[in-house]
Structure 1
């Protein structure tokens, strides 16, 4: 074995929330673990987040809000999240009550401190953590996983021999080709609201050896960001995000509403509709009342978000009348006259309790825009993480793409279930956003997903590496 070869029991690919959790859990089971991180730091996109680890308060609510996701994986997350909190506290991680108005409940962490704590603990206990070391290939002999190929920071080949692999590379939102293939051809109008290293390495390596993918590959989670000429760094993504879209009136360049802004409590549905229904530009319009969190129960401080967009150099208009607002929008290339007419019609429908008759309807946050000053912000959608991905079972074992299980909505009962039974690829596991279809159009918390699936994947990968059967 050369100096560029490594022998380990478990290799974890990706050092974000799921990867760090998987690596530490596997290490706790008494195996040797090597952690590969493509980026220049650990923490992944979790490092850039608000640190809210949450999910819905009941499994029924989970299913009600995310009905198209995988029910078994959703139940696993709901039933395991409290154990995850206890595990973090046992590692000395400080958990606080979230300072955000979330659809469910949970805990909040300081992402940089959490990253530092988990990484230090892993290395102190003998773990091998390698930065700037991307995986290029999973070694698979047709029967089971035998290791991975990676590259050192000096771009030299690194051959890692191991018993099992956990893929936790954070989804494919940073891969323009995959985003164009599955989400939108108009990637020039989509901003990456995440770390730059989650480019689908796990997804592509797994599918290259026959891994099955999930439905929902076109779905993603994100928030709106100030459109150019706004400028901001990656570390400022949360600060400049415009979180109040679900209470605003959202217009396209034609000055028309094009979606039910309040379809979901989080902005994920709204952002996906902006991508699908516009040219990548939309306009959030609110009035003075909607900028008051106490007036409408906002989950964010709209006025602070608007000022942050303005400070970043974004297009922000503050007007004392709707007519002046229409003029300002017109200067941005929007049909200002239609925009004013749209807002007036919207206000009349809200006043007359006809919100459901609007086209599109308005299902929540039914407040008129009639208290000046009025504010408009030009936004572009930002993608934080993808929702579709690698298909796994509740042990996080990656499933083979061995036969079609598609029914396309038809009632279909196979005569022999073994004809379409999926089986795992021995030794290959996935965690976090690489696992697909936990979320589907709507989200239930990305960090809770990473925490729970990371712990399961790390435990099962260690068990497999020790030659023990995985008990379902």
Structure 2
């Protein structure tokens, strides 16, 4: 048995922020990570943070207000979130960032072109998403090789991705990238987690990998007083003087929990496969109230046969691929059913549509259908324009033949392509309004004119890839108050227990405000949890 002030379960951005804050406020902190690498889901993210009223907006000549941000959050959460949680987030996000900057050395800048995910809603703004810098992993010393490798391993910044084009790899500066790789430089989510880890190590945080937490234990008063952990291969009870912070990620890789709670056929998570609901089960074991259990950070994904990550199938998000000109998404009837360029979270609401007449999810399976020009211009998962067409990408000389190959209605797809081509030739999509939103155009191909999102499907051959309902992570779990403290199912707080990140019920409820909202919420409530623990007697 060992004793410490605080145990943080999980090493993503939320957990590392909690650990960094607690340690720099004078507490003794232990971080335990189930996986053999540090960083969790945050490493495979873009590393963006959605920060309303941030100080970087002035650098791009923009202004924001708390009132506008709150109005937008009320809309995006559809009135289903306690306003105290929303205002706490708004009032804490920037102090949290300032604290993290001071104690980790990370730097940020505004993304001048990235709009909120629903830019037509009241209070929406372009510029609230901020981007971090690159990070030199050599600063981590013996922990250098313990930082989780991202899906791609490419050390770039989000602003470089925007400038070069996410799916136009031929436009990237590969000489610069190779130089960074040789020097141990990482970018995006890996850079964010690397910086936070560096700050934690400098502050004296003990970090253990391959050390899954097993069970919380409580004192006679019902408060959490410790946790059982398989610490470095040995089952150890760690007593805590202040408390435990759960930051262990979601439950998207546990199919039983997905079936029980999400209520829709999600079988393609885009996160590391260690996210199997450990924190959720531990919280349930001590009587925690649950919230938001049917929600996730939804994303449409594609899977290239044989593509894996951590020994499991790798499902890749399609954030910009769907918005590029020369392709359309269709369902089993060969019909479009959504604006393909829409933000990934809200597009999945269309993927989840259940037809009571046909008694099935009408838009699953769905397919992205595209022409030869698209195939020759953009990368699709692991398939680049200069590589042979793989067997997981059906191809045919005509649209009718392609429809037969992928099992969709032939007449429906032929008619749909003809109708779409008429629209695209005019640069207007009257059915689904593709290309009208600032978010759509942000994701399109700037080098295609007259419209970066719309272009008729031209000469064949034609291609298709299946689009699946996936998630970046679930966002339901133990319900917390505005300090991050977990609440009891029968009312009142559970002393000594806090939760943040994807393990907790999200402050954003059903909504997804903008790029980096996941990290922003997790880090903010990790910071608040640590502040509360530091202030506790």
In the alignment, is the contact (CA less than 8 A) between 1:34 and 1:128 conserved in 2?
yes
Structure-1 residue corresponding to 2:91:
79
Structure-2 residue corresponding to 1:46:
42
Q: How do 1:28-177 residues align onto structure 2 when only pairs under 5 Å count? A: 28-55=24-51, 58-70=69-81, 71-90=83-102, 91-98=104-111, 101-103=114-116, 104=126, 105-109=128-132, 110=187, 111-141=189-219, 142-154=221-233, 156-162=234-240, 163-177=242-256
Structure-2 residue corresponding to 1:406:
none
Looking at structure 2, the residues matched to 251 and 230 of structure 1 have their Cα atoms a distance apart, in angstroms, of: 25
Q: TM-score normalized by structure 1?
A: 0.78
In the alignment, is the contact (CA less than 8 A) between 1:220 and 1:272 conserved in 2?
no
Q: Cα–Cα, structure 1 residues 77 and 319, in superposed 2: closer, same or farther, change >3 Å?
A: farther
Structure-2 residue corresponding to 1:23:
19
- Kindly state the Cα deviation for residue 355 of structure 1 after the two structures are TM-superposed: 6.6
CA RMSD of aligned residues (A): 3.4
Structure-2 residue corresponding to 1:331:
405
Q: How do 1:367-406 residues align onto structure 2 when only pairs under 5 Å count? A: 370-373=456-459, 376-402=464-490
The answer to whether residue 379 in structure 2 is matched with residue 342 in structure 1 is no
CA-to-partner distance for each residue in 1:86-132, whole Å, 9 max, x for gaps?
A: 22322211324448734252222332233233223323322221111
Looking at structure 2, the residues matched to 44 and 429 of structure 1 have their Cα atoms a distance apart, in angstroms, of: 18
The answer to whether residue 198 in structure 2 is matched with residue 198 in structure 1 is no
Looking at structure 2, the residues matched to 68 and 246 of structure 1 have their Cα atoms a distance apart, in angstroms, of: 29
Looking at structure 2, the residues matched to 387 and 437 of structure 1 have their Cα atoms a distance apart, in angstroms, of: 5
Q: Cα–Cα, structure 1 residues 246 and 160, in superposed 2: closer, same or farther, change >3 Å?
A: same
Where do 5+ consecutive residues of structure 1 fail to align? 292-300, 403-421, 468-472
- The alignment covers a number of residue pairs equal to 419
> Which of these residues, 253, 273, 294, is aligned with residue 350 of structure 2?
273
Structure-1 residue corresponding to 2:159:
none
Looking at structure 1, the residues matched to 524 and 223 of structure 2 have their Cα atoms a distance apart, in angstroms, of: 25
In the alignment, is the contact (CA less than 8 A) between 1:164 and 1:461 conserved in 2?
yes
- Kindly state the Cα deviation for residue 280 of structure 1 after the two structures are TM-superposed: 4.8
The answer to whether residue 435 in structure 2 is matched with residue 365 in structure 1 is yes
CA-to-partner distance for each residue in 1:398-434, whole Å, 9 max, x for gaps?
A: 11111xxxxxxxxxxxxxxxxxxx3111111111112
In the alignment, is the contact (CA less than 8 A) between 1:48 and 1:237 conserved in 2?
no
Looking at structure 1, the residues matched to 84 and 271 of structure 2 have their Cα atoms a distance apart, in angstroms, of: 27
In the alignment, is the contact (CA less than 8 A) between 1:171 and 1:198 conserved in 2?
yes
The answer to whether residue 505 in structure 2 is matched with residue 436 in structure 1 is yes
Looking at structure 1, the residues matched to 42 and 18 of structure 2 have their Cα atoms a distance apart, in angstroms, of: 15
Name the SS of the counterpart of 1:136 in structure 2: strand
Looking at structure 2, the residues matched to 279 and 246 of structure 1 have their Cα atoms a distance apart, in angstroms, of: 18
Looking at structure 2, the residues matched to 278 and 319 of structure 1 have their Cα atoms a distance apart, in angstroms, of: 25
In the alignment, is the contact (CA less than 8 A) between 1:8 and 1:34 conserved in 2?
yes
Q: TM-score normalized by structure 2?
A: 0.69
Looking at structure 1, the residues matched to 39 and 257 of structure 2 have their Cα atoms a distance apart, in angstroms, of: 23
